[in-house]
């Protein structure tokens, strides 16, 4: 690999990368916080974690009941959803940059990810 | 599962992440064999846990790569179309496949990874010229801190790369690994992408791929929080330690030890596929 002293400016590359990095950072922080609180609550409540990740409505119900295992399950779902959120950020950034070609390509990726998410809807 | 067992799983995940990080393979390649061979975790539960752990690793790693400019997001999205589709297909096959088949395929992938570690081919990519054709608008650049210069490249043979990515996606979905073990060499050797950009782009891409795998396993009830949580935490801690060690230790000197470990795990998985368990392993 060789190096050149004359960089080619690509503002749109950075304009897409920065918002995407922010979404990933916040997704991780939220998931980590939920996981930490959920684990501490489970320890205090003396409850074991579930051996299977429940459906979303069950998880919401558990959180309403103040169940730590519900928060742990939500943390896992937030982590799984974070790359999907980052893909949405890429679509928005591409549209803002006027890069309609890759806005469409990323839109197609999003559709495929939603298909896989639909497979898990229960 | 008691707390001691959870800590042991977390420790195994951390070890797999240290190994994966130092070899540039990601933690998933080691996680499933360690969980199944030494803890008796069902292969499908281990694959589901690995997929979520790979997402965690990708989310953390990609943030750094994106800020360093190593990630070619347009390329990741383009390859994502075939990779993620492949992962969905692979995960659906994994759900119906029996454990022996999964162990067999995993053993073969580990053998391939071990051999590719020994051979360790990579190509130097010359800088792209402003007049070079870029039909897919994938030209990108990043600053290489090691040389202080700017590296400019245009991915080549994109249609072939799309096909190879689809294959990597199927394996990723089938085994719960990120797929970086195939993606990174493919991007470098086939598409002539500099190694740092290949690693950065792959890191982002494997996260989306693992999401597809994780959601299919979630639908089938194969995401077990008692296994996933130690895997997530262990992979996160292990990859931090691994990145730190990589910058301090001459990884080349350790490669032979890692390759021996990979051969051992590969042979163990292949034997397990035929119902043979080596001494010291969980049946």
Interface ipTM: 0.88
Of residues B7 and B146, more confidently modeled: B7
Of residues B143 and A26, more confidently modeled: A26
CA distance B270 to B110: 10
Only one residue has tokens 């490249």, namely B153
Structure confidence at residue B24 (pLDDT): 66
Beta carbons within 8 Å of B4's beta carbon, 6+ residues apart = none
pLDDT tens digit sequence for B197-246: 998 899 899 999 999 999 999 988 999 999 999 999 999 998 888 777 76
Taking residues B53-77, what's their average pLDDT?
A: 91
- B-chain residues within 8 Å CB-CB of A10? 139-141
CA distance A17 to B63: 9
Q: Is the pLDDT of residue B153 over 90?
A: yes
CA distance A49 to A42: 7
Neighbours of A14 (CB within 10 A): 14
Nearest to B212 among A48, A116, A121 (CB): A116
> Which of A25, A50, A83 is the best substitution to test chain B (most B C-beta atoms within 10 A)?
A83
**Of A39-48, B109-118, B248-257, which has the strongest mean pLDDT?**
A39-48
pLDDT tens digit sequence for B19-44: 877 776 667 788 988 999 999 999 99
Mean per-residue pLDDT of chain A: 88
- B-chain residues within 8 Å CB-CB of A107? none
Backbone angles phi, psi at A5, to 5 degrees: -80, -10
Q: Nearest to residue B85, comparing CAs of A113, A121, A120?
A: A113
Structure confidence at residue A2 (pLDDT): 45
Length of chain A: 122
**Of B2-6, B15-19, B209-213, which has the strongest mean pLDDT?**
B209-213
Of residues B156 and A8, more confidently modeled: B156
Q: How far is A79 from chain B (nearest CA, A)?
A: 7
User: Given pLDDT bands bounded at 50, 70 and 90, which one contains residue A11?
Assistant: low
Which residues, numbered 113 to 132 in chain B, qualify as contacts with chain A under a Cβ-Cβ cut-off of 8 Å? 124-127, 130
**Of B121-125, B177-181, B213-217, B244-248, which has the strongest mean pLDDT?**
B213-217
pLDDT tens digit sequence for B69-113: 889 999 999 999 999 999 999 999 998 999 899 999 989 988 988
> Which of B66, B81, B124 is the best substitution to test chain A (most A C-beta atoms within 10 A)?
B66
Which residues, numbered 14 to 53 in chain A, qualify as contacts with chain B under a Cβ-Cβ cut-off of 8 Å? 14, 16-18, 20-21, 24-25, 27-28, 31, 35, 39, 48-53
Of residues B137 and B116, more confidently modeled: B137
Q: Is the pLDDT of residue B50 over 80?
A: yes
End-to-end, the C-alpha distance of chain A in Å comes to 49
Q: Is the pLDDT of residue A122 over 60?
A: no
């Amino acid at each position: 690999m060789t190096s050149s002293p004359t960089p080619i400016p690509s503002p749109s590359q950075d304009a897409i990368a920065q918002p995407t990095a922010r979404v990933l950072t916040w997704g991780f922080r939220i998931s980590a916080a939920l996981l930490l609180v959920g684990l501490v609550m489970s320890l205090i409540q003396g409850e074991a974690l579930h051996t299977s990740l429940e459906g979303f409505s069950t998880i919401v119900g558990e959180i309403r009941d103040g169940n730590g295992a519900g928060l742990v399950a939500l943390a896992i779902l937030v982590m799984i959803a974070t790359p999907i959120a980052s893909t949405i950020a890429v679509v928005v950034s591409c549209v803002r940059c006027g890069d309609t070609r890759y806005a469409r390509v990323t839109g197609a990726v999003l559709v495929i990810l939603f298909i896989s998410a639909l497979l898990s809807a229960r | 599962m008691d707390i001691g067992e959870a800590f042991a799983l977390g420790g195994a995940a951390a070890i797999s992440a240290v190994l994966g990080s130092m070899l540039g393979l990601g933690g998933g390649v080691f996680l499933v064999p360690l969980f199944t061979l030494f803890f008796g975790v069902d292969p499908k539960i281990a694959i589901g846990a690995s997929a979520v752990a790979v997402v965690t690793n990708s989310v953390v790693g990609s943030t750094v790569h994106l800020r360093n400019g190593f990630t070619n997001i347009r390329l990741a999205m383009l390859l994502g179309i075939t990779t993620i589709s492949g992962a969905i297909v692979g995960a659906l096959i994994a759900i119906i496949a029996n454990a022996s088949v999964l162990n067999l395929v995993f053993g073969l992938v580990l053998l391939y990874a071990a051999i590719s570690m020994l051979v360790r081919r990579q190509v130097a990519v010359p800088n792209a010229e402003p007049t070079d054709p870029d039909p897919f608008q994938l030209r990108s650049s990043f600053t290489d801190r090691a040389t202080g210069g700017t590296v400019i490249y245009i991915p080549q043979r994109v249609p072939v790369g799309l096909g190879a990515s689809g294959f990597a996606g199927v394996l990723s979905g089938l085994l719960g690994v990120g797929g970086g073990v195939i993606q990174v060499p493919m991007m470098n050797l086939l598409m002539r992408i500099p190694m740092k950009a290949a690693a950065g782009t792959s890191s982002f891409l494997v996260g989306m791929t693992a999401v597809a795998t994780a959601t299919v396993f979630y639908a089938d009830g194969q995401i077990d929080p008692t296994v996933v949580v130690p895997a997530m935490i262990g992979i996160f801690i292990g990859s931090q330690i691994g990145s730190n060690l990589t910058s301090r230790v001459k990884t080349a000197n350790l490669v032979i030890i890692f390759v021996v470990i990979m051969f051992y795990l590969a042979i163990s998985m292949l034997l397990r596929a035929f119902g043979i368990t080596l001494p010291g392993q969980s049946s």
